[in-house]
């Protein structure tokens, strides 16, 4: 699953640590999400969407 | 099974993965420092083994009768393990893993030394060379476990000081580790007890209680993690637990088929270590992808 987390984070000039603290997860998790190595749970996906003020579909893109 | 084992085998892997899982912090210690810690802690444990391992020999040299010297040697080492375990329990975060590692190391060295010397195996009718081989393997595993825990303790002292430990995760993890050390001590004591005796039954009950604490600690620790680390942790535990169960089943079948010596406690300890080894290898295999991701992350940040 692709996502725009890295771009959205860069637009706000946030570090991975900043984003991790805002979401209540580890920086390791942020890296794994940005690298596409880990797909978030629905609650975390909604939390990310709320934080960036966008819908889940605008941030995450399914790759069939 | 916590983990941690040849830990990086146990050491490096646990230090990196365990620390990150607990505190959500990146790994900032250089490779040279890590090697220095590993070599240094290994030297400390090896020195301890040389200092305390031959306690029985020293007692005999002091004129104590052989049988009594052996018993006091065992008591001395068990006491030493207990002291280190207690120190680990009361120590601050930077020393708890170090003391736990020393406790595990002394235990591994003691059992391994006894096996290598044929104190257990020969009495069970095992071949001397085979007994010594098992003893040497146990000594090596004991050293690796010790180095892993000590390494982890030093690593956490260096890494977690900045942000403080995740106590919600550390406390149950510590309880689990201490329970594991206690379980090994109980297994060691069981080698001295008569099968079916009230003391043996009491030891079994105590072992079961410690095992329950281990499980509780793992569960509580996992609950304190964020979702990704919890998933990895759970997968690792499931894989490790499966290996452990398979090992126990194999041991039981071997006993029933008469393929293994009728030495319940000694056999259990041996299989415990073997299951530990298998669990660690499995855990490393499960976590290897995340280790690669972490290295990629470090490189990425270094570039930035």
* Residue-wise pLDDT tens digits, B56-84: 555 555 565 555 555 555 556 555 655 66
Q: Is the model's pLDDT at B175 over the cut of 60?
A: yes
CATH 1.10.260.40 is the classification of domain A2-55: yes
> B29 vs chain A: nearest CA distance in angstroms?
16
Element (H or E) spanning B8, and its range?
strand B7-8
Give whichever of B19-23, B56-60, B224-228, B230-234 has the largest mean pLDDT: B224-228
Give whichever of A50-54, B75-79, B176-180, B288-292 has the largest mean pLDDT: A50-54
**Best mutation site among A13, A28, A37, A43 for testing chain B: the one with the most B CBs within 10 Å?**
A28
What residue in A sits closest to B289 (Cα-Cα)? A37
What beta strand segments (E) does chain A contain?
2-3, 60-61
* Cα–Cα distance for residue pair B191/B115, rounded to 1 Å: 12
Residue B261 DSSP one-character state: -
* Cα–Cα distance for residue pair B53/B55, rounded to 1 Å: 5
Instruction: Tell me how far the alpha carbon of residue B268 is from its chain's centroid.
Output: 15
* Chain A residue numbers touching B222 (CB-CB < 8 A): none
Q: Are strands A2-3 and B7-8 parallel, antiparallel or unpaired?
A: unpaired
Sign for the CA dihedral angle at B75, B81, B83, B89 comes to negative
Residues 5-34 of B with CB under 8 A from A: 20-21, 23-26
> B228 vs chain A: nearest CA distance in angstroms?
6
Contacts of residue B156, Cβ cutoff 8 Å, sequence gap at least 6: B15, B19, B22, B93, B94, B97, B165
* Chain B residue numbers touching A31 (CB-CB < 8 A): 293-294, 297
> A64 vs chain B: nearest CA distance in angstroms?
22
| HSE-up (13 A, CA, CB side) for residue B30 | 3
Taking alpha carbons only, the member of B91, B47, B54, B87 closest to residue B69 is B54
Contacts of residue B184, Cβ cutoff 8 Å, sequence gap at least 6: B104, B107, B269, B272
* Cα–Cα distance for residue pair B58/B54, rounded to 1 Å: 6
Would you say B27 and B159 are in contact if contact means Cβ atoms under 8 Å apart? yes
Residue A2 — φ and ψ, nearest 5°?
-85, 160
Kindly state the tokens that stand for B260. Answer: 């293994």
Percent of chain B with pLDDT over 90: 0
* Cα–Cα distance for residue pair A54/A61, rounded to 1 Å: 13
Would you say B7 and B150 are in contact if contact means Cβ atoms under 8 Å apart? no
Residue B38 confidence (pLDDT): 46
* Cα–Cα distance for residue pair B85/B263, rounded to 1 Å: 27
Average pLDDT over residues B138-152: 56
Q: Is the model's pLDDT at A35 over the cut of 80?
A: yes
Domain boundaries, chain A: 2-55
Residue B196 confidence (pLDDT): 75
Residue A61 — φ and ψ, nearest 5°?
-125, 125
* Chain B residue numbers touching A26 (CB-CB < 8 A): 20-21, 23-25, 225-226, 228-229
pTM: 0.46
Mean pLDDT of chain B: 57
**Best mutation site among B227, B287, B291, B298 for testing chain A: the one with the most A CBs within 10 Å?**
B227
Average pLDDT over residues A21-28: 86
Residue B163 DSSP one-character state: T
Would you say A57 and A45 are in contact if contact means Cβ atoms under 8 Å apart? no
Please give the residue that has the higher pLDDT: either B183 or B192: B183
Residue A44 confidence (pLDDT): 94
Q: Is the model's pLDDT at B45 over the cut of 80?
A: no
């Amino acid at each position: 699953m692709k996502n725009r987390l890295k771009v959205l984070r860069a637009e706000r000039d946030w570090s991975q640590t900043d984003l991790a603290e805002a979401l209540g997860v580890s920086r390791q998790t942020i890296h794994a999400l940005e690298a596409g190595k880990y797909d978030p749970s629905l609650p975390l996906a909604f939390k990310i969407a709320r934080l960036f003020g966008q819908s889940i579909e605008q941030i995450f893109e399914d790759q069939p | 099974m916590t983990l941690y084992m040849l830990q990086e085998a146990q050491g490096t892997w646990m230090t990196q993965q365990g620390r990150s899982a607990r505190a959500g912090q990146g790994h900032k210690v250089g490779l040279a420092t890590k090697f220095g810690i590993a070599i240094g802690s290994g030297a400390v444990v090896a020195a301890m083994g040389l200092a305390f391992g031959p306690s029985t020999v020293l007692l005999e040299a002091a004129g104590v009768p052989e049988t009594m010297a052996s018993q006091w040697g065992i008591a001395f080492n068990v006491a030493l393990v207990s002291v280190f375990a207690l120190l680990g329990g009361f120590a601050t975060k930077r020393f708890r893993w170090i003391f736990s590692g020393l406790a595990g190391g002394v235990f591994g060295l003691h059992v391994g030394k006894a096996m290598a010397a044929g104190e257990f195996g020969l009495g069970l009718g095992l071949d001397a060379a085979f007994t010594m081989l098992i003893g040497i393997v146990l000594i090596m595993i004991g050293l690796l476990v010790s180095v892993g825990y000590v390494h982890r303790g030093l690593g956490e002292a260096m890494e977690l000081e900045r942000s403080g430990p995740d106590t919600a995760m550390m406390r149950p993890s510590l309880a689990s580790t201490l329970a594991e050390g206690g379980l090994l001590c109980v297994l060691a004591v069981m080698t001295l007890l008569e099968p079916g005796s009230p003391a043996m039954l009491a030891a079994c009950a105590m072992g079961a209680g410690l095992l329950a604490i281990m499980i509780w600690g793992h569960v509580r620790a996992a609950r304190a993690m964020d979702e990704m680390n919890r998933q990895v942790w759970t997968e690792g535990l499931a894989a490790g637990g499966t290996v452990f169960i398979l090992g126990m089943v194999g041991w039981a079948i071997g006993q029933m088929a008469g393929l293994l010596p009728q030495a319940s406690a000694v056999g259990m300890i041996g299989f415990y270590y073997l299951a530990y080894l298998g669990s660690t290898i499995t855990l490393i295999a499960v976590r290897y992808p995340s280790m690669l991701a972490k290295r990629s992350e470090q490189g990425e940040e270094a570039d930035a």
